[in-house]
Amino acid sequence: FLKTNPNSIKAIVGDTHLGADTEMIESLPCLEIVASTQETSNAMADLVIRNLEAHLKNEPL
pLDDT of residue 7: 94
User: Block means of pLDDT (10 residues each) for the chain, length 61 residues?
Assistant: 90 78 90 77 75 80 58
Residue 61 within a domain: no
Maximal CA-CA distance, the chain: 32
Residue 46 within a domain: yes
d(CA 1, CA 6): 8
Give the total number of structural domains in the chain. Answer: 1
List beta partners, residue 36.
14
Domain limits for position 44: 6-56
pLDDT of residue 16: 67
Closest C-alpha to 36, from 25, 23, 28: 25
Q: Indicate the pTM of the whole model.
A: 0.56
Residue 39 within a domain: yes
pLDDT of residue 26: 92
Residue 19 within a domain: yes
